Structures are given as C-alpha cells and as structure tokens.
C-alpha cells in the first residue's frame, strides 16, 4: 500500500461533501423506508454480538476463524469508524463495518440476510453509509469485491457508480469460509466518489471487441484485448459454478485475472458493467492495445 497525500483538490471535495449531507441523508432514509427497514449505527454489546453472529451465518467460516469479533467491532465503533446494522421486523438482518482510512472510509464487510433479497436493503445500507460519511466531511468510500460475482459487480459499478481502481490478485490469501474456500481471493478495489449522485449510466459498448466471453460449455473463451473498447465477461453465477465444477471456476479465475487484471495493470480503465454481465474496458488514449 502506498502512502496517500491528499492534494488541495481532494481537500476541497472533502469539505464540499458536508454540503451534500442533508440531501444524502434524506435519500438514505427514503430508500430504507421504501424497503421497509431501518438502518442505524450499532450501539450496544448485544447488537454487536448479533452482528458478528449474522456475518458468520452468511459466510459460514471455520469455527476457529470468525470473520470479525465483538472486541474489534467495539473498538472500531468507539474510535469513530462505521459499524451499522439493518433492522427488519424488530430483528437484525444486515450489518456493515468500515474503518477510517488515509483517503476516506474503507468499507471492510457488508452482509444482508437472504430474507431481505429483492427489497433493495443493500442499496439502503450503502446509502446510509454514504450519508454517514458525508456528514463527517468524508468524500470517498473504498472497498473490495470478487470480480467474478456478477451481481456484485453490477450493484457496485452500475447501481452505486463506484469505479474500479486496482485488480488485486489473491488479496486475502486462502480463506476457509464456505463462500471463498478452495478459490484464490482476487478482488477489485473500487472507489466511490460520494459527491457525485449515486448510480451510473450504462457504459457504451459500440465498437467493442470481446476480450473474454462465455463459451458454449460455460467456460471462458479468450478473444482480442486490443481496440478502443474491450468487453470482459464473467459467469452468471460463479458461486453455483464453484460448487458444481471447481475446476471450471478455477479456469474463470485465471482467465479473468489475465484479461481484466492485465488490462488494468497496464493503465486501462473500467468504464462500467453491463446488465448482461460484462466489464467495459477503455484505454486512456482511446485504445486498449
């Protein structure tokens, strides 16, 4: 990790963030109301204990290796970091934890119980986090996610408007929860500019070439990585594929690392993610070769 030294423009944007806090708070509250939930910071030991149990229930880690501990949550909350929960029907049904970082807030983990699927609870939670940050003069939130998980890519890049900045190969090393066990933990690091309105327009795909496609057998098919715009596809449901065919999932990991990671490592940018599951890559000079 390199040292970060905010420049004058960054400082100005961070200060300006406070001006957007009222609007951001209203949007977060309206989204939560529409979802039939409440999002709030966790304040008690009992709530934080529930949050630890909920995250373990979602990820199902090795019993000796919990994702996060009560003591850590308490320390993060006490020191001013972000520890929040989603409440539905009087019970905790989601949690998100972020810690203060050199360039803003780093959102470390977020999970929503499957009982809230389809109610936009995840969007309400992230908008609450955005409003929380803006009220404190923080203008940027970063986090990582698995680039092979299509629904997360669409949510992060299209619904929120976060921008990938780095491809991190095997970022966490080996993990032993039921979601990540048996696969290398490649991640995309994204930055979410909180001053901009949430969401992003569909990325242009005209003139694009296929750098990575889904073959007839569901496996990765490498194509061209040159041209002014390149499309990099990922499987529709990598988690199901990992359970059904770990070897095929491994081929997708290798291909995505080579193509998507390779393009990003050479200075190309991710312009967005399409509804049908493809990253749109563009070169800084208008070319990808």
Any domain includes 160: no
Statement to judge: residues 139 and 17 lie in one domain? yes
Sign of the C-alpha dihedral computed for residues 160, 166, 167 and 171 taken in this order: negative
Statement to judge: residues 134 and 230 lie in one domain? no
**Total structural domains in the chain?**
2
Any domain includes 219: yes
Question: Is 144 buried (19+), middle (13-18) or exposed (0-12) by CB count in 10 A?
Answer: buried
Interval 110-136: pLDDT, tens? 999 999 989 999 999 999 999 999 999
pLDDT > 90: percent of the chain: 74
Q: Residue 50 sits in a domain of what CATH number?
A: 3.40.630.30
Q: By residue range, what is the domain housing residue 34? A: 9-145
Interval 160-197: pLDDT, tens? 999 999 999 998 886 555 565 568 889 999 999 999 88
CA separation for the pair 182, 175 (Å, rounded): 8
Statement to judge: residues 46 and 121 lie in one domain? yes
Statement to judge: residues 141 and 236 lie in one domain? no
Question: Is 207 buried (19+), middle (13-18) or exposed (0-12) by CB count in 10 A?
Answer: exposed
Any domain includes 180: no
């Amino acid at each position: 990790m390199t040292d970060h030294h905010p420049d004058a423009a960054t400082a100005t944007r961070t200060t300006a963030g406070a001006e957007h806090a009222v609007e951001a708070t209203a949007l977060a509250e309206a989204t939560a109301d529409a979802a039939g939930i409440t999002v709030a910071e966790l304040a008690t030991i009992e709530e934080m204990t529930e949050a630890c149990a909920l995250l373990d229930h979602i990820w199902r880690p090795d019993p000796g290796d919990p994702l996060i501990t009560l003591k850590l949550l308490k320390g993060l909350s006490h020191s001013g970091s972000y520890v929040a929960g989603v409440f539905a029907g009087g019970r905790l049904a989601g949690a998100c934890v972020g810690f203060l970082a050199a360039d803003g807030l780093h959102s470390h983990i977020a999970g929503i119980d499957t009982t809230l699927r389809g109610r936009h609870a995840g969007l309400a939670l992230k908008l609450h986090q955005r409003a929380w940050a803006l009220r404190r003069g923080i203008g940027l939130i970063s986090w990582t996610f698995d680039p092979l998980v299509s629904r997360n890519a669409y949510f992060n890049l299209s619904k929120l408007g976060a921008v990938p900045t780095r491809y991190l190969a095997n970022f966490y090393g080996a993990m032993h929860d039921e979601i990540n066990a048996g696969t290398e933990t490649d991640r995309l690091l994204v930055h979410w500019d909180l001053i901009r309105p949430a969401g992003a327009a569909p990325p242009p795909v005209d003139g694009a070439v296929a750098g990575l496609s889904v073959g007839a057998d569901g496996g990765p098919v490498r194509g061209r990585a040159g041209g002014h715009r390149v499309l990099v596809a990922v499987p529709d449901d990598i988690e199901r594929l990992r359970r059904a065919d770990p070897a095929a999932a491994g081929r997708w990991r290798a291909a995505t690392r080579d193509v998507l990671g390779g393009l990003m490592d050479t200075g190309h940018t991710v312009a967005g993610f399409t509804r049908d599951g493809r990253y749109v890559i563009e070169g800084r000079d208008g070319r990808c070769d």
